[in-house]
Amino acid sequence: MDDDEFVPESKSARKRQMHALQVLGEQLVSLSAAQLAKLNIDHPRLIEAVELAQRISHHSGKRRQMQFIGKLMRETEAGAIEQALDELHETSRQAKAREHVIEGARDALLLRGDEALTDVLSIWPNADRQLIRQLTRSAIAERDKQLPPVSARSLFRYLRSLSDEPSAD
């Protein structure tokens, strides 16, 4: 007979687990309704509790609701929720990285003009060279005349549309 089989979990270990579940619940409360829906949580009471916590502004009421969410989290598969949150955050990180690449390409075009065009075309080989040159020149002219950056925004939107297209890899 193994002694390990009958060793009860310590109170401290249980408290750590409960705190971890409450922290996971706090992450759920910080999400938008659309992000929460993407997680596909199959626990209606938990979703209701999270939505209620998002509406509560009073500190002690919010604290009690968070404790209730932690209690409900014990009834769910926390590992699946945690994995779904990680995937959601990774998708968000990838989108931010893509936006930074687009901003960098636009800024390079506005700073270096046609010299940066080859770099941009190496990123997006199917891009319309003439349209990029036209938008870049218009954006530079607008910047020099201190006009609103209409063409720079159009250039950014065009580069984003190129980034959204499936690659031919």
Residue of 4 and 114 predicted with greater confidence = 114
pLDDT for position 100:
93
Which residue segments constitute the domains of the chain, with CATH numbers given? 10-76 (1.10.60), 90-164 (1.10.60.30)
Q: What number of other Cβ atoms are within 10 A of residue 135's Cβ?
A: 24
pLDDT tens track for 122-142: 989 999 999 999 999 999 999
Q: Position of tokens 């690659």?
A: 167
pLDDT for position 169:
44
Indicate whether 145 pLDDT > 90: yes
Look over the chain and give the mean of its residue pLDDT values, rounded to a whole number: 87
Where do runs of H (alpha helix) occur along 74-144? 78-112, 117-123, 129-144
pLDDT tens track for 34-71: 888 888 888 889 989 999 999 998 989 999 998 898 88
Side chain identity at residue 135, one-letter code: L
Whole-number Å distance between alpha carbons of 98 and 152? 18
Whole-number Å distance between alpha carbons of 155 and 112? 15
Q: Are 109 and 132 in contact (CB under 8 A)?
A: yes
Token pair listed for 167: 């690659």
Whole-number Å distance between alpha carbons of 61 and 124? 52
Question: What percent of the chain is predicted at pLDDT more than 70?
Answer: 93
Indicate whether 26 pLDDT > 50: yes
Residue of 158 and 79 predicted with greater confidence = 158
Q: 113 in the Ramachandran plot: left (φ > 0), alpha (ψ -120 to 50) or beta?
A: left
Q: Position of tokens 């990774």?
A: 90
State the pTM of this model.
0.58
